[in-house]
């Protein structure tokens, strides 16, 4: 039996993604599930925001880059939707079926979050709940806003979300988004810059794992 959900919103955090964001928004804007699609431009220097506006998405334009986690939170706080569904802006192969896999469990099952596992991330996700790091996830907004903001920074945001749900024993479902991938950082920016960015991303994830242990009590709802 499907639950009565008043509002579902898709949120796309983006930084300099003019080459791919249009394809992602096109699929989201046509979806039957979303009452609104919000693009959060995290200080882009290209036409990411302009593309979003021209396509009819709601656009939040930040004057400077503040990190993915900040963009996600800002998007969530800009809406009163019961469920927010996040999508990366550099996806390749996003389809209506992928959206359905993420949203339908939130409507028909007793869960608080549904996490999508992209094609190349299956093996990594098998290492445990904290390693399900894909940006595609549906989540109850009130729970997202309970996570300490200082932990919702940069590329570490998915790890912090996973940790909060694990720590509080909240119900999560994982779904395989077959055929969905992203444009690699090396392809977007060239090998050297892309590789350096990837190293920085991995370091942020390692660092947040250490910090989470130090601040673990802040993640427990009393």
CATH number at residue 73: 3.90.550.10
Averaged pLDDT, 119-147: 75
Per the domain annotation, does 186 fall within a domain?
yes
Per the domain annotation, does 136 fall within a domain?
yes
Per the domain annotation, does 1 fall within a domain?
no
Per the domain annotation, does 129 fall within a domain?
yes
- Residues with Cβ within 8 Å of residue 157, at least 6 apart in sequence: 67, 68, 69, 72
Q: With the CA atoms of 93, 69, 163 and 132 taken in that order, what torsion angle do they form, in degrees rounded to the nearest 10?
A: 20
| Of 192 and 183, the one with more pLDDT | 183
- The residue range of the domain holding 129 is 8-219
Per the domain annotation, does 137 fall within a domain?
yes
Q: So what's the pLDDT on residue 111?
A: 96
Average pLDDT for the chain: 84
How does pLDDT run across 59-91, given as a tens digit for each residue? 999 999 998 999 999 999 999 999 999 999 999
For the entire predicted model, the pTM comes to: 0.82
> What is the count of structural domains for the chain?
1
Is-contact 11 76, C-beta < 8 A?
yes
Please say if the pLDDT value at position 135 is more than 80. Answer: yes
| Of 177 and 217, the one with more pLDDT | 177
Which of 54-63, 70-79, 124-133, 151-160 is predicted least confidently? 124-133
Q: So what's the pLDDT on residue 37?
A: 98
Q: So what's the pLDDT on residue 163?
A: 86
- Residues with Cβ within 8 Å of residue 86, at least 6 apart in sequence: 10, 11, 12, 13, 72, 135, 136, 137, 138, 139
Per the domain annotation, does 2 fall within a domain?
no
Per the domain annotation, does 3 fall within a domain?
no
What percent of the chain is predicted at pLDDT more than 90? 61
How does pLDDT run across 4-55, given as a tens digit for each residue? 677 999 999 999 999 999 999 999 999 999 999 999 999 999 999 999 999 9
């Amino acid at each position: 039996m499907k639950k009565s959900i008043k509002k579902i919103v898709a949120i796309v955090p983006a930084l300099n993604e003019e080459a791919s964001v249009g394809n992602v928004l096109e699929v989201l804007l046509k979806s039957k599930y979303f009452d609104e699609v919000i693009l959060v431009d995290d200080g882009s220097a290209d036409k990411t925001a302009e593309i979003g506006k021209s396509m009819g998405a709601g656009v939040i334009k930040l004057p400077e880059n503040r990190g993915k986690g900040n963009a996600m939170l800002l998007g969530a706080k800009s809406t009163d939707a019961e469920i927010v569904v996040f999508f990366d802006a550099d996806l390749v192969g996003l389809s209506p079926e992928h959206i359905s896999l993420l949203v339908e469990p939130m409507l028909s099952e007793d869960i608080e979050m549904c996490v999508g596992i992209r094609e190349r991330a299956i093996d990594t996700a098998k290492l445990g709940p904290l390693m399900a790091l894909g940006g595609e996830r549906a989540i109850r907004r009130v729970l997202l806003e309970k996570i300490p903001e200082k932990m919702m920074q940069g590329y570490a945001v998915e790890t912090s979300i996973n940790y909060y749900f694990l720590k509080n024993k909240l119900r999560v479902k994982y779904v395989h988004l077959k055929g969905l991938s992203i444009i690699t950082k090396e392809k977007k920016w060239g090998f050297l810059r892309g590789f350096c960015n990837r190293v920085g991303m991995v370091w942020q994830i390692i660092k947040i794992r250490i910090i989470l242990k130090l601040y673990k009590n802040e993640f427990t709802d009393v």
